[in-house]
Each structure stands twice: as structure tokens, then as C-alpha cells.
Amino acid sequence: MFARLLRLAPIGALVAAACGGESGTATSTGSGAAGVGGGATTTAVTNVSTAVGAGGQGGGFSIVTGQNPVLGTDKPDPFVLRVEDREGPLYYLSHTVHNGGDFPLYSSRDLVNWTQAPAGLFGKTHPVGERFQLNDAYYCSLWAPQIVDVAPGSYLLSFTAQRYASPGACGPYLEDSGVYLASSAAIQGPYAPLEKSWEPFPSGANEAACPADVRSALPRSLPYVSEDCQSTFCHHIMRLDSDVFRDPADGRWWMAYAWYTNTPPQVPWELSNHGEHVGLVQLDAADPFAVRCDVATPQVPIANPHDPNLLAALASSCPGCDQMLSFTKGRQGEDVVRDGVSWGVVEGPSLFRRGDYVYALLSGSIWDSAYYHVYWIAAPTVEELATDSPSRLVGRYLIPSMGQSFGHGSAVLGPDGASWYFAHHRLDHAPCAAQGNCARDVWVSPIEFEDRGDGKGEVYIKARRPAEEAGFEVRVPG
């Protein structure tokens, strides 16, 4: 078996290690979140004022002032979908549930006030701590849901999970997860209903239409839990944190995902690049549920936690941007070492396009570290987001401070159609380090752009310290 090898990624020069609510009336306008009724309402609004400006009926808008957090504890990894209905922009939000059952769904008109739907995305109740049965398989560690509008009346749900062939109690996460997909004719679900017995299914090329030798040569998730890279390149094993993105500039579909190196490292490259990385693969234009069935399918490595050039660029991207910057810190502030070498993490990709640039927001360091942060990369095309691309720009975005760390969220266009926001989680690090209380809540942070005088215009994302500016404003038409 040619299992423990290195090769160049198809795009770029990165060497990757081997082995091992409103169905029918809503129109998607980009990544975003909620608007369903019948559940509890969370209100974080502190002030509403009316202003005159572009947009909205009569050409005006209201300014809604929110205060973080907008949703309470134990709601990590939020995703937001923005749609349009007869009343205007509408947002749907879901988040990680661990082993606690169905993915919940919230809705909002303003990104501040959220109402929870009475049913989850799968429409099922489930005992906490047991494997969640969905048709013929069982799931634990249900993380990072994302809903995507792929066509009129067709919605794609992607999520991370450990997938088993049999029932039982959920055990520890062993980096053995995958990315799984399901569909629905309505945003609210249900996804993976009984009549679609093949759902959820592992991400990858279409199993029925793509020859096995081609499918096995492309990025994919494994049918069931496995820590091994299954005799292929580890960057081909989609482990977690999927983000499905259609680039409005050219209409191409992509999936971003995180992958792990072998544990322990099996080849020399892994010794100095051990940990969690992020890559992208192009999806089938006619079937965005599947990776393109072509061995030449573009793949783009965009994040390596051990990249010294990235670390240097982030540290110099703004005054004070060298503070609380690490990809290798753990819960107690230690430098994480696994298998005798440094272990780094970058994860949680979220892609969006604004004007001439496509952006990826990424989270760095261990999730329960005081150093967990968000940074950005940008380039004219998806391929130019690659780690070795001379065209890409990078910078820090959410910087930890005051004992608070931030990460893993979803970029979304605001109700005014011009402003951008990032719905993400926040960790209060002191109780996490001292007592193991690491529950996270949902925050919304503006994404602000600035011109740095180099002729590129307002394309640089401003660094932000959310702990020091927890309030935010949202312009709502009308």
C-alpha cells in the first residue's frame, strides 16, 4: 500500500501529509441566519432609532443597537444563513449540539433578537448522550451545521459528526469524524427524512455516478469513524468544519474543510506541520452536494498553523496585532506538544465575497485556549487564497483580550445589503481553565473594512477586540 507518502497539492506548493421559514418565498442572498416563529425569544436589543438613508420602504432604515452575547451559553460554532422574503432580509441560525440531540434553529430580522423554532433541523427528539439515529446510521459529536440554498426548493445541510453503524453511548472524540450531508425542500427541514434513507451521506464525489478509483483519489469523508487516513493523503480526508460556498464572481461551488495530520506523524513533513489544517475543493457545478468527479479537480490549501510567513504577517498587520497570537496554545496557556512535536490548529473556515475580493475567516489555536482568535485572508479568486499565493492578503480580525477568546463563526451580509457581520462564539477563559466550565455563547461583531493607501481600496478588514466593544449596531430597512 502506498499509504505513508507526501505529494504536492494540486493547487499551490503545499506539501500535504499522507495516510493514515419561508419555503418557496425566500431567496438566498449569501451566508447569514434566522426567522421562524413558535418558540422562545432572546432579546439583546438595547436601543432602536430611526434614521434617513438608502434602503427600506420610503428610503429609510432603523438602527438597532445590540449588546453581546445575543444568545446564551453552550451554543458554540454558530452558522447564519441570510435569505429574502416578502418582508425583507431574514436570518436563520444553528449551532453545535455536541451529543445533546437535534440541531436547533433560530430566526431573526436584525441579527440581535432571536426566536427559537419549536423543532430542530432533523425534526426529532433524542436522549442526551446517546448516539443520534438518522436512518441507517448513528451520530455523535454533532458540530458546525451549515444550511445552503443550492437551488429553488433545495437546501443542503452539512455538519460534522462521528458516524457509527450501530447504536450505543457516545464516547470521546478521537479525531475520527467526517462531514455529512442531507437535504430538504424547506430551510426549516426536516433534513434526512425516512423517505431519503441514504441521508445523511459522507461528503465526496457522487458514489453512484463517479468511478471508485476516481472517487478515492479526491477529498472525501469516511463512511464511519476512523482515525486512519485510509491509505490516502491526509488532506483528502474531510474531518470537520465544512463551509459550502458559491463564488458569485464566477458561479463555482467550493467546500472548505479541516483535516488532520497523522497521529503519530508518519512522514517527515508532518513532524514540523503537525495538527489541523484547512483546505478547499471544488464541487460539481451541476450537483453542489458532490465533489467534482475528476482527478484534476482543483484543491486549494489555505491554512497551515505552522506557517512562519503567516504568523509574521499577522503580527505586523496592525499595531498590537502581535499580542495574544498563537496557533499552538492550550487551555492552561501551555505550548501544546503531541507525539513529541508542536501541535497547531486552524479551523472553522467561513467564506464570502465582497467586491473584487473573496475572503476566508479562520480560527486559530486550540478552541479552549485564551489565544483562540479569528484572522482573515483575501484574494481576487479562490485559487489565490492558497498558502503560497503572492496575491493573497492576510490580517488579524478578532483579537483575544480581557480573558475572553473568540472564534468559529459565520460571515453574513447585514439587513442593509451593504454592511457585513460575523456571528461567532465567545469563551470566558478563566472558568474554563480553573473549573472546566468551557461553555460558549453567541456574539455578533461588525466586519469593518479600511483603505491602507496602497491602491487596493477598502479591502482590508480592521482588527477588533470584541471584549472591549461588546455593543454593535445593525441598520435595518424600513
pLDDT of residue 56: 43
Who contacts 117 (Cβ-Cβ below 8 Å, separation ≥6)? 21, 36, 37, 38, 39, 104, 105, 106, 107, 188
First to last CA, the chain: 63
> Is 96 within a domain?
yes
**What pLDDT is recorded for position 228?**
78
Task: Please give the pLDDT value at position 394.
Answer: 98
| Contact assessment for residue 270 and residue 374, using Cβ atoms and an 8 Å cutoff | no
Residue 288's pLDDT is what?
A: 97
Alpha-carbon radius of gyration of the chain: 21
Is residue 238 domain-resident?
A: yes
Residue 1 lies in a domain: no
3-state secondary structure of 359: strand
Give the span between the Cα atoms of 106 and 81, in whole angstroms: 10
Return averaged pLDDT per consecutive 10 residues of the chain, 478 residues in all. 26 33 38 41 48 50 96 97 96 96 97 98 94 97 98 96 97 96 98 97 96 96 88 90 98 98 92 97 97 98 98 97 98 97 98 98 98 98 98 98 98 98 98 97 98 97 97 94
CB of 162 closer than 8 Å to CB of 140: yes
For residue 416, is it within any domain? yes
Residue 436, classified by CB atoms within 10 Å of its CB into exposed (0-12), middle (13-18) or buried (19+), is: exposed
CA angle (133, 191, 135) in 5-degree steps: 30
C-beta separation of 237 from 259 below 8 A:
yes
CATH number, domain containing residue 69: 2.115.10.20
Is residue 281 a part of any domain in this protein? yes
Classify residue 25: in a domain, yes or no.
Answer: yes
The string of DSSP codes covering 96-130 is --BTSSSPP-EEESSSSSEEE-SS-TT-----TTB
Give the span between the Cα atoms of 180 and 187, in whole angstroms: 17
**How far is CA 22 from its chain centroid?**
24
CA distances from 166 to 138, 173, 475 (A): 6, 17, 49
Q: Which CA distances in Å does 377 have to 14, 219, 278, 352?
A: 16, 22, 12, 11
The residue segments making up the domain with residue 330 are 6-477
Element (H, E) at 433: helix 429-435
Alpha-carbon distance of 167 to 456, in angstroms, equals 55
* Predicted local distance difference test score (pLDDT) of residue 231: 66
Number of domains the chain is built from: 1
